[in-house]
Amino acid sequence: MDAHGPIGVFDSGIGGLTVAAALGRVLPREDIFYVGDTARVPYGGRSAATIQRYSREISSLLLEEGAKVIVVACNTASALAVPVLESELEVPVLGVIGPGAHAAVQATRSGKIGVIGTRATVRSRAYEEAIRNLDSGIQVSSMACPLLVPLIEEGWLEDPVTDSVIERYLAPLLQEGIDTLVLGCTHYPLLQSAIRRFTGNAIALVDSADNCALAVRDLLQKRGLVSDAGTGRLQVAVTDATGGFLQVAERALGLRVGEVLHRTVRPLTPVADPASCL
């Protein structure tokens, strides 16, 4: 493994730039190569097998770029594909679930944590398991929020429609008495202020992006993979058009992405006869 290689980051789309931005703050000298699988976003409603196949294929694009570590910025892929990638790849793999769970356990005082994410993330119970492994006494209440990603991609970050969707999803969690809320999806940090409007300041919002970046820094240090020659360059590639969401994310994150590259996904395993899936 070459310490001079970039940190490879992938997400189902552009939302994982929240993690790339956090990595840039924590590790300003590391180069980052980011792939957003915009051809196949969203992952959040798909089966575990499909999410694992997509994750393998996107990881292989990152390895072609010389990635020294693979950061799975997508919560859905982290919940369902990290163990598979870890067992198959020679480079270290890090997802966002462990760092997010750790931060939530540190933040809670009441021992009641809420988790929001895509349907696949919530169904996997990955956050619940990670939190309970850290502290079995904690009560975890989860809520799938499938309408939030499209609203964010539309750029409706400060909008009464988004506010009322947030209220509808979060009211039951607040009734459970949570004092900490895990934003378990790449996109949700962009809704921090809208979520805060509903929850008030008494609830800690845990964003896995910052905690994941700190975990990547620890991992690079432990494995002797810190680069002394990187320039902090962020290269972004996508597998299809990004729509207008790239501009929304750049504005909200204060990131300048520059030229966006294109990569084509090649199937790694023979594709099943579609007729057999019907």
The residue of the chain with the least Cβ separation from ligand DGL equals 44
Task: Find the helix or strand (DSSP H, E) in which 141 lies.
Answer: strand 139-144
Q: How far is the CB of 12 from ligand DGL (least distance, A)?
A: 3
- Alpha carbons within 13 angstroms on the beta-carbon side of residue 151 total 19
Residue with smaller CB distance to ligand DGL, 5 or 15: 15
**Number of residues assigned to the chain:** 278
Q: How far is the CB of 46 from ligand DGL (least distance, A)?
A: 8
Residue with smaller CB distance to ligand DGL, 66 or 146: 146
The whole-angstrom distance between residue 136's C-alpha and the CA centroid of its chain comes to 25
* C-alpha distances out from residue 155 to 15, 192, 197, 207, 239, Å: 12, 13, 17, 19, 21
Residue with smaller CB distance to ligand DGL, 27 or 97: 97
d(CA 58, CA 36): 8
d(CA 239, CA 262): 6
Active site residues: 74, 185
Q: Applying CB under 6 A, which residues contact ligand DGL?
A: 11-13, 15, 41-44, 74-76, 117-118, 121, 149, 185-187
Residue with smaller CB distance to ligand DGL, 149 or 234: 149
Q: How far is the CB of 129 from ligand DGL (least distance, A)?
A: 17
Q: How far is the CB of 268 from ligand DGL (least distance, A)?
A: 20
